[in-house]
Structure formats: structure tokens, C-alpha cells
Amino acid sequence: MSALPPIANLQAFEAVARRRSFALAAAELHLTASAVSHQISRLEAQLGIRLFERSAHGVRLSPAGDHYLLHVGSALNAIAVATDDLRQGIRNSLYVHSAPSLASLWLMPRLHRFAQAYPDISLNLSAAHTPSDFALGQADIDIRYGAPQWGDLVVEPLFEESIVPMASPAFIKQHKLKRMEQLLELPLIQSNVNVVQWSDWFARFTNMRAPDRFPLRFDRTQMSLDAAMQGLGVALDSAVNAGGHLSDGRLKAVFGMEKAIRVKAHFAVYPERHAKRPAVEAFLSWLHSEAAKT
């Protein structure tokens, strides 16, 4: 293993990157600004890369520094959390990372059942589009979204989901929306991260071409669904993520569920070495049980 930089230098780097100021970072770390500056200089010298771009207007991350922060920040956070757990006597901790939309719309409403079934497991849940880095110890399990191309990790599909056009009942009524060709005359909401796009849906169910431009684009399913509920247009999204909105009538499948594209796009992912950890086994068993009910 290559020599790791001193952790004090990494902490100084993370603090300056987060605060965008040597003085503020120094105050946070109970050091002088000069000491922090020297730590950053030593780190840059060891790496052979300039991490910050300094000017009269302040300090900002270089492109290399921005990339480095992504990993260093997560690693330092993992160390801090593990240390806190140890100090508090928590031995049965589980770290789960998830795609944001599934975490907020599907996983969170069910977590109370996991807590009731496994009260001795301390669950730590984080969410981001960026997959967790198992090499840095960021997670025990990652619930990922997309095409399963994750090397030698164990990949377990959770469920099949239906991607379907959805809108609020008021929007459907206002526009007398009954025919698929009417979609070309109405605002369509684009969810940039979805594995199924409007072009896929139009190609599957019509002989028309999807629009090239969309009045609203989002990088979160939650925002796409919120926009549809507000009557801003028609969203193409997962009926699993929108399950609560569909069941309580805030959204409706415009042309019924028979006009859905079905995919497997959410996966539980983990290194094989994690498989025998009791907390991992418990969570995976519970997760698949909940997925089977979906």
C-alpha cells in the first residue's frame, strides 16, 4: 500500500475545502491559519498535485482537489462515525447507502418495521447518486439504481418496477387527456436520471417521436413527482417510487398500468466479504421481504 498522507493534513484539506477559507478552517481546527497553510502545502507536495487555486478573491478547489475531496471527505466521515460508535459502545452498526429517490420514497416509509424487527442494530442511512466506495469503508450495503455493471460485487435485484406516465387527476381532467398523441401538445416532465426516458416510452407505445425539449427537467424523482402533483405536466416515472402518491390519489397513471415499461433497475450491492456479517444478513433478508410485498 502506498504511503498515506498524515490524517492531520487530510483534515486540514477537508476543512479548507468545505469552508473555502484558511482562516475559518483554522478556527474550526483550533490552529493558526499559517499552520493550516503549511499542512496543505505538505499534502500538495506529497501528492505532487495542486489541490487549491489561490487568488486575491480567496481560495477554491482545483479540479483535482474537487475529485480528491469526494473520496477524502467520505473516508474521514466514515472514520468519525466508526469512532463515535465505538465510544458509545455500539457494536452492531449497519451502514446503508441508497439512491436518493428510493431512500426517501420507498425505504424511509418502511424503516420502522426494520427497527421493530431488529432493535439491536444501529442503522446509518445515507443517500446520493454517487455510489458508495466499499474500498473506503463507506457502506456495508449500497442500494444502487441503473444498469448492473459493478465488477466483482454481489448484485441482487430487488423488484421489477413499472415506468409509466403519471399526472394529477386535476391536470388530466383539465386537458381532457385520453389519447397518447395529446402528450405532444402538453408539458412533459423529464427525469434526467431515469433508466427509461420519454424517447423509450414513445418508441414502445406509439409511432410518434418524443419531444427534443422539455419545459421541466429534474435530477430527482421526488422533484419530478412533486411537479406532476402540482399540475405542471406529465411525469414518466416508477410506480414503485410513486406508490404513495398513486395510492392516495395525488397522481394517476394517465393511460393505465398497461402502458408501462417494466424494468429491474434497483439492486442491493455489496462485497462478498460482507455477506456473513449478521447485520448485513438481517438487512438483506428484511429488504427482500419488503421488496416482495411491493
Assign a CATH topology to domain 92-159+265-293. Answer: D-Maltodextrin-Binding Protein; domain 2 (3.40.190)
Q: Does the model's pTM come out above 0.85?
A: no
Q: What is the pLDDT of residue 133?
A: 77
| Beta-strand runs (E) in the chain | 52-55, 58-61, 93-98, 122-127, 141-145, 154-157, 161-167, 188-191, 216-218, 234-238, 252-253, 261-263, 266-270
Task: Report angle CA 213, 216, 222 to the nearest 5 degrees.
Answer: 135
Q: Output the pLDDT for position 138.
A: 72
Q: Quote the pLDDT of residue 1.
A: 47
Look at residue 273 in the predicted model and tell me its pLDDT. 87
Q: Among 100, 92, 97, 103, which residue's Cα sits nearest to residue 136?
A: 97
Asked, colleague to colleague, whether 92-159+265-293 and 161-263 share their fold, the answer is yes
Q: Which fold has domain 161-263?
A: D-Maltodextrin-Binding Protein; domain 2 (3.40.190)
The ranges assigned to domains in the chain are 7-74, 92-159+265-293, 161-263
pLDDT at 71: 83
The predicted structure's pLDDT at residue 83: 66
Q: In what helix (H) or strand (E) does residue 73 lie, and over which residues does it extend?
A: helix 63-87
> What pLDDT, on a 0 to 100 scale, did the predictor assign at position 151?
82
pLDDT at res. 82: 67
Fold type of domain 7-74? Arc Repressor Mutant, subunit A (1.10.10)
Distance of CA 105 to the CA centre of its chain: 12
Whether residue 106 contacts residue 241, with contact meaning beta carbons closer than 8 Å, is answered with: yes
pLDDT of residue 85: 59
pLDDT tens-place values along the chain, 294 residues long: 467 888 899 999 999 998 888 989 888 888 898 999 999 999 999 999 999 998 777 788 999 998 898 888 878 877 776 666 555 555 678 999 999 999 999 999 999 999 999 999 989 899 988 888 776 677 899 999 998 888 889 999 999 999 999 999 999 999 999 999 999 999 999 998 899 999 999 999 999 999 989 999 998 899 999 999 999 999 999 999 999 999 999 999 999 999 999 999 999 999 998 888 899 999 999 999 999 998
